[in-house]
Amino acid sequence: MLYAFVLIVMQTVVLLAVAPLIVGLIRKVKARLQCRRGAAVFQPYADLIKLFRKQPVVSSTTSWIFTATPYILFASTLAAGLLVPVFMSTTPLNFAGNIIALVYLLALGTFFLMLAGLDAGSAFGGMGSSREAIVASLTEPAMMLSIFAIALTAGSTNLSTIVHKTALLEGIVTDPSPHLMAFAALVIVAIAETGRVPVDNPATHLELTMIHEAMILEYSGRYLALVEWAAGLKLLVFLTLIANVSAPWGIATSMEPAALGIGLATYLVKVSGLAVLIGFLESMFAKLRLFRVTDLLGTAFVLALLGLVFFYVLRG
């Protein structure tokens, strides 16, 4: 009992602490690629502290959904994070759900965010919500399929089991192509779900082009802080998922302190590496035309599907 409790606390602390760092790291990489010095990687922490101290302004036309959404979003994203193995293969909420629960916990947050975008009644919020609905409905199947492709090799939809088995190289087929395809699909899904270039531009001030930013335009103060933190958390959850499902090696498979230390260190290296990768990808591409986003997500779906097919074909 105590053991489970300690695990929950540890994983929560790591997720909450690392999320702003990842956001800062991506910004830093992009700045360096643009020959700029850029803000310190710890800037997002300062931003969060500043926002928490500020008084929020709430439009008088909004309903309870607007003020409840930041909490729902934050809580659901954190709960999703506790379903993913972070630095050790056992997850704190192992008993509570599997990969499907993870997908729908994230979808719950997105759903409320879309409602909140509509709630204030501004033209931009509505546009953001309608665009988010397109993106979310297309990422969902691609994400499910890609994780299923990996689940098949491990014989379980429980993330903890998948990671544990993969880390110990149990039940792995000799050909890694299902894994690779699922990995590519997951990267695309992660970019779309977390509103990065080329799907969305987190750095723009142009309301007409926004997706995620348009939905949260009306937020300020601690509400905005929660939404921003949740966005960072969601990004981190995806990077963790990609890192640990595709390459879990190094993760702690027992509770020994040495194993935990190694697990934490390799975890930080892995997510930082992925953050740098995202920084590079964002610098290489212009944003897609809105209606081309569906093509990209279609590609992700097909890749994931191919991963599934390959699994059966290779097994003979």
Partner 1 sequence: MTDSPSPERSIEQQIQTAFPGVIPDYPSGTALVQYRTDKLQLPELVRFLHEKMQGRLALLFAVDCRPLEKKYELQYLFAFKSRQPFVLVTTELIGDDRLFTSITPSVHAAQWYEREIRDLFGLIPQGHPDLRRLVRHEHWPKGTHPLQKDVSWNNVLGRQQGEYRFHHIEGEGVFEVPVGPIHAGIIEPGHFRFSVAGEPIMQLELRHFWKHRGVEKLFEQLTLIDAVLLAERVSGDTTVGHSLTYCQAVETLLDLQVPRRANYLRSLFLELERLYNHFGDIGAMCNDTAYALAHAHCGRIKERIMQLNDRLVGSRFLRGVMRVGGVSWDVDRSQLGTLVDELNGIQKDFSEVGAIIFANASLTDRLETTGVLTERIAWDHAVTGVVGRASGMDQDVRRDRPFAAYDELPVNVALYRYGDARARLRVRGDEIHESIRLIREIHARIPDGPIAAEPDRSAPPGAWAVAAVEGWRGEILYFVSAGDDGMIHRCKVRDPSFVNWPAIQWAVLGNIIPDFPLINKSFNLSYAGNDL
Which residue ranges make up the site for partner 1 (CB under 8 A)?
30, 33-36, 123, 127, 130, 197-198, 201, 203-209, 282-292
Nearer to partner 1, 151 or 193 (CB): 193
Shortest Å distance, C-beta 300 to partner 1: 17
**Are 92 and 56 a contacting pair, CB within 8 Å?**
no
Nearer to partner 1, 97 or 279 (CB): 279
Q: What is the 3-state secondary structure of 202-239?
A: CCCCCHHHCCHHHHCCCCCHHHHHHHHHHHHHHHHHHH
Nearer to partner 1, 172 or 284 (CB): 284
**Are 267 and 113 a contacting pair, CB within 8 Å?**
no
Shortest Å distance, C-beta 131 to partner 1: 8
Question: How wide is the angle at C-alpha 212 spanned by C-alphas 129 and 136, nearest 5°?
Answer: 60
Nearer to partner 1, 45 or 207 (CB): 207
DSSP letter, residue 88: B
Shortest Å distance, C-beta 61 to partner 1: 16
Nearer to partner 1, 30 or 179 (CB): 30
Q: How far apart are CA 76 and CA 182, in angstroms?
A: 24
Shortest Å distance, C-beta 251 to partner 1: 34
Nearer to partner 1, 67 or 209 (CB): 209
Task: Output 115-119 pairs: Cβ under 8 A, ≥24 positions apart.
Answer: 115/65, 115/69, 116/65, 116/66, 116/69, 116/215, 116/216, 116/218, 116/219, 117/214, 117/215, 117/216, 119/62, 119/63, 119/65, 119/66, 119/69
**Are 85 and 244 a contacting pair, CB within 8 Å?**
yes
Nearer to partner 1, 197 or 245 (CB): 197
Shortest Å distance, C-beta 133 to partner 1: 12
Shortest Å distance, C-beta 26 to partner 1: 12
Q: How far apart are CA 240 and CA 179, in angstroms?
A: 16
Nearer to partner 1, 62 or 204 (CB): 204
Q: How far apart are CA 283 and CA 167, in angstroms?
A: 33
Shortest Å distance, C-beta 290 to partner 1: 5
Q: How far apart are CA 26 and CA 33, in angstroms?
A: 11
Shortest Å distance, C-beta 296 to partner 1: 11
Under DSSP, is residue 252 helix (H, G, I), strand (E, B) or coil?
strand
CA distances from 67 to 52, 107, 219, 227, 229 (A): 15, 18, 9, 11, 16
